[in-house]
């Protein structure tokens, strides 16, 4: 998308703001996966829409089509004199760092990374905790005792998903085999469904019968392969159970919707603060999905085991190692 068209889109969207002068002016910038990626960005959109429905306060929105575009879009937002700009994804870290210094009177919020600044709030997640839960589910559902993980871009954040997943699976069966593959090492790894499907099929050929895909758009290819091959898949970020009912065992929920909603609401209520917040199971930042789409796949015994694992993590009885702490995994 050219910047001229972005400007027009922003101006049009801005007209949707509430007419009340006292209402905050809010903005949301989606990552390169796009608003309706059925994953991370869409979750942010759903949180913003929930805020809009409850408060009748609109918001400005835009999607970047490349990481290089981030700074330009954030500047356009800041020049609209908005009160808060929420940026989705760690790929916007450098842009938020730069633009937040240029506009010290505008509040910025980044979801999924940390940027220090008096006008920046950062929200991170304990992905390892939610991944542990779906790892428990995978091990309990697997008939081959071989489970798989497909990550998008090979970065510590995605390794944290895979490590938590492996810890959960091995808490059920210490001998279970966990195969892990990454789509790539550049941002293009988030949008290569063909490669995601290829990796999933390769894992199936090795006996894997449950695959957890944390790979953005590439994960869509992996989940399609799950359906095509009659295996079980695990979704990520938003509830992806409805994609292929009967084939998606569960989804690891990363509550980007709650983070976005809370950010908007904090500005409305005058409680916004700069700093870093990390959201895990206790804070409602991560979870697993159980609904009508996967109810038949999750037996009562499996549900009880997953809920017990969650309770043990919340109480501190089980401490899930974060790969990012030492760039290593204990299993």
Neighbours of 102 (CB within 10 A): 12
β-partners of residue 236 are 252
Report the distance separating Cα 77 and Cα 189, nearest Å: 28
Residue 20: per-residue pLDDT = 54
β-partners of residue 178 are 147
Report the distance separating Cα 204 and Cα 193, nearest Å: 16
CATH architecture entry for 127-254+299-326? 3-Layer(aba) Sandwich (3.40)
Which residue ranges make up each domain of the chain?
A: 3-125+256-279, 127-254+299-326
Residue 91: per-residue pLDDT = 87
Residue 206 CB contacts under 8 Å (≥ 6 apart), including other chains: 146, 179
Alpha carbon separation from 238 to 193, 228, 271, 288 (Å, rounded)? 18, 22, 27, 10
Could you please report the per-residue DSSP string of 227-264? HHHT-EEEEEES--GGGSTTTEEEEEEE-HHHHHHHHH
Burial of 112 (0-12, 13-18, 19+ CB in 10 A): buried
57 DSSP assignment: -
Report the distance separating Cα 34 and Cα 32, nearest Å: 5
Asked if residue 18 lies in contact with residue 58, where contact means CB atoms within 8 angstroms, the answer is yes
Taking the complete model, does pTM exceed 0.85, yes or no? yes
Residue 202: per-residue pLDDT = 98
β-partners of residue 286 are 254
Q: Which fold has domain 3-125+256-279?
A: Rossmann fold (3.40.50)
Return per-residue pLDDT of the chain as tens, 331 residues: 344 334 434 433 444 444 455 899 999 999 877 788 778 888 999 999 999 999 999 999 999 887 788 999 999 999 999 999 999 998 899 999 999 999 999 999 999 999 999 999 999 999 999 999 999 999 999 999 999 999 999 999 999 999 999 999 999 999 999 999 999 999 889 889 999 999 999 999 999 999 999 998 899 999 999 999 999 999 998 899 999 999 999 999 999 999 999 999 999 999 999 999 999 999 999 999 999 999 999 999 999 999 999 999 999 999 999 999 999 999 9
Residue 21: per-residue pLDDT = 52
Residue 235: per-residue pLDDT = 96
Task: For 199, list phi and psi in degrees, rounded to 5.
Answer: -65, -40
């Amino acid at each position: 998308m050219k910047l001229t068209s972005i400007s027009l889109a922003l101006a049009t969207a801005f007209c949707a703001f509430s007419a009340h002068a006292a209402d905050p002016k809010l903005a949301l910038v989606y990552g390169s996966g796009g608003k309706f990626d059925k994953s991370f960005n869409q979750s942010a959109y759903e949180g913003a829409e929930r805020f809009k429905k409850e408060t009748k306060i609109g918001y400005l929105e835009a999607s970047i089509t490349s990481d290089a575009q981030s700074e330009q879009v954030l500047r356009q937002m800041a020049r609209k004199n908005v009160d808060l700009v929420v940026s989705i994804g760690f790929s916007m870290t450098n842009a938020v760092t730069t633009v937040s210094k240029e506009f010290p009177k505008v509040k910025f919020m980044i979801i999924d990374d940390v940027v220090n600044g008096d006008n920046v709030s950062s929200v991170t997640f304990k992905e390892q905790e939610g991944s542990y839960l779906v790892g428990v589910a995978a091990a309990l559902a697997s008939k081959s005792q071989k489970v798989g993980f497909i990550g998008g871009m090979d970065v510590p954040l995605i390794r944290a998903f895979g490590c938590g997943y492996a810890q959960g699976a091995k808490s059920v069966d210490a001998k279970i085999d966990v195969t892990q593959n990454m789509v790539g090492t550049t941002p293009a790894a988030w949008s290569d469904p063909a490669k995601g499907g290829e990796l999933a099929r390769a894992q199936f050929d090795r006996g894997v019968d449950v695959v957890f895909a944390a790979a953005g758009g590439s994960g869509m290819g992996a989940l399609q392969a799950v359906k095509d091959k009659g295996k079980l898949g695990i979704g990520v970020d938003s509830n992806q159970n409805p994609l292929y009912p009967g084939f998606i065992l569960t989804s690891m929920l990363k509550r980007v919707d709650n983070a976005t909603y809370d950010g908007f609401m904090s500005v409305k209520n005058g409680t916004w603060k700069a700093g870093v917040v990390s959201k895990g199971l206790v804070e409602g930042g991560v979870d697993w999905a159980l609904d009508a789409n996967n109810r038949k796949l999750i037996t009562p015994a499996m549900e009880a085991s997953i809920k017990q694992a969650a309770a043990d993590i919340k109480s501190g009885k089980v401490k899930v190692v974060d790969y990012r702490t030492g760039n290593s995994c204990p299993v």
